[in-house]
Chains A and B, each alone.
Chain A
Amino acid sequence: MSDIVTINDGKAIMPGANAPENREYNMFIGPNHPGIEGNFALKLSIEGDIIQKAKTEAGFLHRGFEKLMEERLFIQNIAIVCRICVPDPDPNEENYARAIEAIGGIEVPRRAQFIRVLVLELSRIASHLFTFGGHAGTIGLYTMPNWSISDRDRVLDLFEELTGGRVYHIFNMPGGVRRDLPDGFKNRVRDVMDYVESRLSEYDDLFFNNKILLNRAVGTGILPVDKAIAWGATGPNLRAAGFAHDVRKDDPYEVYEELEFDVPTAADSDAYSRLIVRRREIAESIRIVRQVLDKIPEGPVWNKQPNPLKWRVPAGDAYVRTESSKGEYAYYMVSDGGVRPYRVHVRGASVTHGVHILENMLAGARIEDASQIMFSLDACPPEVDR
């Protein structure tokens, strides 16, 4: 017998190699892969270039936040909730504080409510800028991440000045916020907003009107509006399908009722539409931030709460939701009247987008679009695991 095995030999050895059941193969993307948002993995069944079936693998970042919170004092949790979603931490802080306020009937000073809106919108801008970079990376446009992420740093500079931390702000606490605005902060926010606004047209030239993006993203990863609703999509992903749902408008919190802004939508519900909706949201957020800076009243920023070591929140439960950059973000908190929460459930947008919808959308997609579709949904793996 010859030492060299030829293809014909192979066919002879495996006569059924071309049978349909033998043409599928499995492929993994992640958990360490530049096309994956964080520690997350996709397990794809592929035939040719077409994905037949996709299975997400989560859990690499599981830290058990919901359980941890049950073991910590109410005040201590403000330091860990922000870690549930790294790029957009503030909706967590907002929800946590607002859940306690709802259960305990705690009022928040108006100035603090304005500051909270300011923080939330800045966080939305930062998060969207981050996503643009990620999305561009998946289709090989590596200039865009350099631009948008370094521009995001300017927003982080604002956070550093206001909250003392760049990424984890630990700034909201039940009853208000931890510090007042520093001197001259408003002007610096205005400067950064002007700068980000001036950059948007640059992004258009560089990215949003880029031929490569148009060719790759238009018509890719279509999520029909009926499916989007059926599968529980929220936020920009739902709005890109033409359904103008926004918690800030439909169930307003803090002072959003007093602020003017539009809810951008798109019709096509493809990867490109989702990007464009986010890009327009940045402009709306800038509009909101400017109004906050104009309207913010003087006054205290925190209503005094009891000694944090002996702080009991009355028994009760509350469901609070916030429009995060990823979609509807909600906390369900139960207090048994003790010094620790009895249960905190985190309803993040990323589980629906990054697990259920992504698995459905990847079936039938081309293999090279897998990463792009994932990024176009803007899921946040740490939030899936939490």
Chain B
Amino acid sequence: MAIDKIGSILRPFTALKNLAEKPDTLDVPRHYRPAAERYRGFHVNDLDKCIGCGTCAEICDNAAIRMVPVKGKEVGVGKTQYRPAIDYGRCCWCGLCVDVCTTNSLSMTREYTHISPDTDTFFILPDEKGIHEKDFPQGWHADEKINFLDLERVTMQELSAAERGDSFIEIVKGFSKEQAVKEASRCVSCGLCTATCPAHMNIPEYIDAIWKEDATEAGRQMYKTNPLPDVCGRICTHKCETACSLGQRGDPVSIRWLKRYAMDQIPASELNTLVNQSVVKQGGKKIAIVGGGPAGLSAAYYLVLMGYGVTLYEKYPKAGGMMRYGMPEYRLPYESIDKDIDFILSLGVELKTNVTVGKDIPVEKLRDEYDAVIMATGFHGGRSTRVPGTDHPMVFQAVDLLARITNGDEFPVEKDIVVIGGGNVAMDIARSLARMQKKKYGTVSLIVTSLETRDIMPADDEEIVEGEEEGIVFHPGRGPEEIIVENGSITGLKTSRCIRVFNDQKMFAPEFDKNDIEVYAAAQVIEAIGQGPEFDVFAPFAESLEMAGRRVKVDQFFQSSLPWLFIAGDIIKGPDAITGIETGHQAALGVDFWLGKQPDDTLSTIDEVLKIALGFQREQVTQLEAVLAAGSLAPAVEAETSKLLASEKADLAAVEALLAGRNTRIHLRQEMPRAVRRRDFKYLEAQKPIPAESASATIKAITEHASAGFRLYTDILFLTKSKELEFSLDGLRDHQKATAERFASLKD
């Protein structure tokens, strides 16, 4: 291929031989050149598969993707009604959105031409059909081997079945720092979790803080909507993880364990740095809360931070409710509960334990002594199967036994036990009793039966798996027929096969096959088929309290038909801890809103405001007279001060005249925020005695007084907005301002 420089003028004409060849060119647009299989053309999106997480918009480096609401799209756990819309004026067709898509719903086609004079047509919401609804084949799409997202979660270290089998030590060991940061780094901050969480916790924010190794900030974010993060970090039902967008193709982020990790990093002594405690006092308003569970504690926390006096009534020796008396220690250690509760109490909540409202103290008394009462008594009543034999003394309710375990009360633990129930409470009592059996007898002989088959058992899957590891035998899909009692003691539980639990309307209506009978040998039977409220406490108001089915009827602020009575916790919504926390929060807001409407809470009439002005003027006159009486002022200052005294006397007369001339209770502007109407005129504290010894101190004090006066009249004008008053008050305000300026410029 040596290139010699023997150029000939005719050499180029050898190219003429190509004239006979077929040209490479295409007649566009008559011939559409098909694009390659991976072509990054216009987007298509499977709108039903898409969950609207917005990760595509997040990664787009040109901000070409905007999430827009789409009508008719199902909204639910882990699904929003938003779908990506793309501005092709910005899009650079890099395809990062496709590679990062959490559901793989987004892809690109091989279509690449769009011509229009109308710029609006470049902004489209891609659906399955593509920009022109032409059937173009798929182009750039997700590749199984190239996964931008971290789909596998960090494994949580747990005690082995042998280690935990006979002890109540916490099973889950918790994340190390490296594990937590790694797990936090998986989050795409889509916020589907926040939308699903009953308490709407700032989950992406605290995960981000954990990822930045700032546990304090994480805690701060948690306390905004949840005053029991330590507890929730262990036993929350984590609906957030069900919603997590990473769960679409892989494991959801371990949100609960991350929360636990962050709170474990913050010692109890530092919790008060997480909360803004600049409390506005509420004029001595007092609230009683009945029930020291998650809902009651949550309500107490928010109310005390709003400046109310809060008293919490608890029937057990310690606060915590179901968290303490319903959760076994291996899931939720008592020190975690204590850490959260002690902090809430340290904010100024008064706790009265061993008091059962309704028995030890009547509800009417609470009603009369407090401004509002929040009932959060919870689900402490166990339900019975009511099959023959349930009245036997060796038949127990799960909730009762769990409470006895917490209290350390003695109760019989037999060698063979049957637990009826397939929910998490059944798992709690079964696994607790299994531990006690192992301690007492060295072996576990415990059977759990439930109506539901294994696939639809309501208990968490890991609870069932761990229970099996601990030696519990499961017989799902069996309904109790009879507790067999021979010679006064239980010998077993007779069951029949449950054909189906729910009918076609998805109502609870179990059907049984009475020919398929099995008997499980047992000397003790535990019923754990659900809990319910104990409504004895409402008995005195049975007639006036409106009910909605089995629940008390409440409005959006959890206020019942008796205005002073608010309801929170399991008895109104749930049952679970995080819902309790949320209802407690809402009830606290409801109380604040309701009390805020009471007339005597804030300044509400013009007369009240004018009386403050009157007090100010009187004080002015008294003080100025005192200063002049001392007679030690420099002549120039004394002259100014006497002039001022005369004018302040005139102002006093003006305010008195205003008050005397009016005998109204015209309300202040109701649309004003309450914080403004509640203004406590703190600056009037400047009105301390005016010193007479040194001229400069006198001048300074008088200047401060006048400035305070100016602010006072400004505020009054702002609050009243009365044309009638404006004329007189404007003069007073200007006068105070002029005084402040005059004295500020005085030389001693």
Query: Which A residues are closer than 8 A to B by beta carbons?
Result: 72-73, 75-80, 143, 150, 153, 157, 160-165, 168, 170, 178-180, 182, 200-202, 204-211, 213-215, 218, 276, 279-280, 283, 300-302, 304, 306-311
Pairwise interchain contact B59-A309, C-beta atoms closer than 8 A: yes
- With A79-B94, A307-B148 known as contacts, the answer to whether A211 contacts B188 (CB < 8 A) is no
Contact partners of B48 in chain A: CB under 8 A: none
Question: Is B8 in contact with chain A by the CB < 8 A criterion?
Answer: yes
- Which A residues are in CB contact (< 8 Å) with B99? 178
Per-residue A-contact encoding for B178-200, CB less than 8 Å = 1, 0 else: 00000011111100000000000
Chain B interface bracket (under 10, 10 to 19, 20 to 34, 35 or more): 35 or more
Measured CA separation A160–B36 after assembly (Å): 6
Q: Which of B11-42 contact A (CB under 8 A)?
A: 11-12, 14-15, 24-25, 35-40
A163–B94 Cα distance when bound, in Å, is: 10
Q: Is B96 an interface residue, CB under 8 A from the partner?
A: yes
Contact yes or no, B12 A210, CB < 8 A: yes
Is A307 touching B40 in the complex (CB atoms < 8 A)?
no
Q: Number of contacts between A and B (CB, 8 Å)? A: 132
**Which of B139-147, B258-266, B475-483, B729-737 has 4 or more CB atoms under 8 Å from chain A?**
B139-147
Q: Please tell me if the beta carbons of A211 and B59 are within 8 angstroms of each other in the complex.
A: no
Other-chain residue from A202, A283, A307 in contact with B187 (beta carbon distance below 8 A)? A307
Give CA–CA (A304, B182) in the complex, Å: 14
- Residue numbers in B under 8 Å from A72 (CB-CB): 61
How far, in whole Å, are A304 and B5 apart by their CA atoms in the complex? 53
Q: Is B310 an interface residue (CB 8 A)?
A: no
Q: Which one, B7, B36, B92, contacts A210 given CB within 8 A?
A: B7
Residues on B with beta carbons closer than 8 Å to the beta carbon of A204? 1, 3
Q: Is the CB of A160 within 8 A of B35?
A: yes
Instruction: Taking A73-B59, A80-B61, A164-B95 as given, write out 4 further A-B residue pairs in contact, using a Cβ cutoff of 8 Å, ordered by the A residue number.
Output: A168-B93, A205-B15, A213-B7, A276-B3
Q: Which chain B residue lies CB-closest to A306?
A: B185
- B95 → A minimal CB distance (Å): 6
CA of A215 to CA of B705, assembled, Å: 97
> Given the complex of chains A and B, what is the CA–CA distance between A212 and B95 in angstroms?
46
Q: How far does the alpha carbon of A168 sit from the alpha carbon of B187 in the complex, in Å? A: 30
**Residues of A with C-beta under 8 A to B3:** 204, 208-209, 276, 279
CB distance from A293 to the nearest CB of B (A): 19
B residues less than 8 Å from A76 (CB atoms): 59, 61, 96
Some 21 contacts from A to B, beta carbons below 8 A apart, are A73-B59, A79-B62, A79-B96, A157-B36, A160-B35, A160-B36, A162-B38, A164-B38, A168-B94, A170-B94, A178-B143, A201-B1, A202-B15, A206-B11, A214-B7, A283-B1, A304-B150, A307-B188, A309-B189, A310-B184, A310-B186
Q: Report whether B39 and A79 are in contact in the complex, using a CB–CB cutoff of 8 Å.
A: no
Contact residues in B for A153 (Cβ distance below 8 Å): 24
The answer for the CA separation of A217 and B7 in the assembled complex, in Å, is: 12
For the complex, give the distance between the alpha carbons of A205 and B8 in Å.
Answer: 9
Chain A residues whose CB sits within 8 angstroms of the CB of B208 once the complex forms: 310
Chain A to chain B: the 4 pairs with minimum beta-carbon distance, closest first: A76-B61, A79-B94, A211-B7, A164-B38
**Which A residues are CB-close (under 8 A) to B55?**
309
What per-residue 1/0 map shows which CB atoms of B299-339 lie under 8 Å from chain A? Answer: 00000000000000000000000000000000000000000
Evaluate contact between B12 and A308: CB separation under 8 angstroms.
no
CB-defined contacts of B148 to chain A, threshold 8 Å: 75, 307-308
Smallest CB-CB separation from A218: which chain B residue? B5
B-side contacts of A182, CB under 8 Å: 37-38
Determine the distance from Cα of A184 to Cα of B99 in the docked complex, in whole angstroms: 24
Complex Cα distance A165/B100, Å?
A: 18
Cβ-closest chain B residue relative to A302:
B146
Contact of B36 among A164, A206, A209, A279 (CB under 8 A): A164
Query: Using Cβ atoms and an 8 Å threshold, which residues of chain A touch B185?
Result: 306-307, 310-311
A83 to chain B, nearest CB (A): 8
Do A308 and B100 touch (CB < 8 A)?
yes
Interface residue B58 (Cβ < 8 Å from any Cβ of A) = yes
Report yes or no: B11 in contact with A211, Cβ–Cβ below 8 A: yes
B95-119 interface (Cβ within 8 A of A): 95-96, 99-100, 108
Interchain CB contact under 8 A, A205 and B14: yes
- In the assembled complex, which residues on chain B have CB atoms less than 8 Å from the CB atom of A200? 1
Given contacts A209-B3, A302-B145, A307-B186, contact A77 B58 (CB under 8 A): no
Highest count of chain B CB atoms <10 Å: which of A211, A279, A309: A309
| Complex contacts, B59 vs chain A, CB 8 Å | 73, 75-76, 308-309
The 8 Å CB contact of A160, one of B1, B39, B145, is B39
Set of chain B residues within 8 Å of A276, measured between Cβ atoms: 3
> Complex: how many Å from CA A307 to CA B188?
8
A-contact bits for B49-79, CB 8 A (1 contact / 0 none): 0000001001101100000000000000000
A310 touches B1 (CB 8 A): no
Residues of chain A within 8 A (CB-CB) of B35 are 160
A179 with B96: CB separation less than 8 A: no
The smallest C-beta distance from B255 to any residue of chain A, in angstroms, reads: 15
- Candidate in A75, A214, A215 with the most chain B CB atoms within 10 angstroms: A75
Please give, as numbers and ranges, the residues of chain A lying within 8 Å of B37 by CB-CB distance.
Answer: 161, 182
Contact flag A209-B11 (CB < 8 Å), given A79-B94, A165-B93, A308-B148: yes
Q: Is B6 an interface residue (CB 8 A)?
A: yes
Within the complex, the shortest CB–CB distance from B625 to chain A, in Å, comes to 67
User: Smallest distance from the beta carbon of B317 to chain A beta carbons, Å?
Assistant: 45
Report if B211 contacts A (CB, 8 A).
yes
Say yes or no: B12 contacts A206, CB within 8 Å. yes
Cross-interface CB contact of A180 among B24, B58, B93, B145, cutoff 8 Å: B145
**CB-defined contacts of A304 to chain B, threshold 8 Å:** 147, 150
Residues of A near B96 (CB, < 8 A) are 75-76, 78-79, 308
Q: Which residue of B lies closest to A309 (CB)?
A: B188
Across the interface, do B12 and A179 meet the contact criterion of CB distance under 8 Å? no
Residues of A close to B149: CB separation below 8 A: 307
B455 within 8 A of A: no
Q: Distance in Å from the Cβ of B211 to the closest Cβ of chain A?
A: 6
Give B479-506 as 1s and 0s: 1 = Cβ < 8 Å from A's Cβ atoms. Answer: 0000000000000000000000000000
Q: Tell whether B279 is near chain A: CB-to-CB under 8 Å.
A: no
- How far is the CB of A38 from the nearest CB of chain B, in Å? 19
B146 pairs with A168, CB closer than 8 A: no
A170-B94, A304-B147, A308-B59 known; A164 vs B139 contact (CB < 8 Å):
yes
Q: How far is the CA of A265 from the CA of B146 in the complex (A)?
A: 41
A235 CB to closest chain B CB, in angstroms? Answer: 20
The reply to whether B12 and A163 contact each other, CB–CB distance below 8 Å, is no
Give the complex CA separation of A77 and B92 in angstroms.
Answer: 12
Residues of A within 8 A of B509 (CB): none
**Nearest CB of B to A77, in Å:** 7
CB distance from A158 to the nearest CB of B (A): 9
Among A79, A200, A310, A311, the one with the most B-chain Cβ atoms within 10 Å of its Cβ is: A310
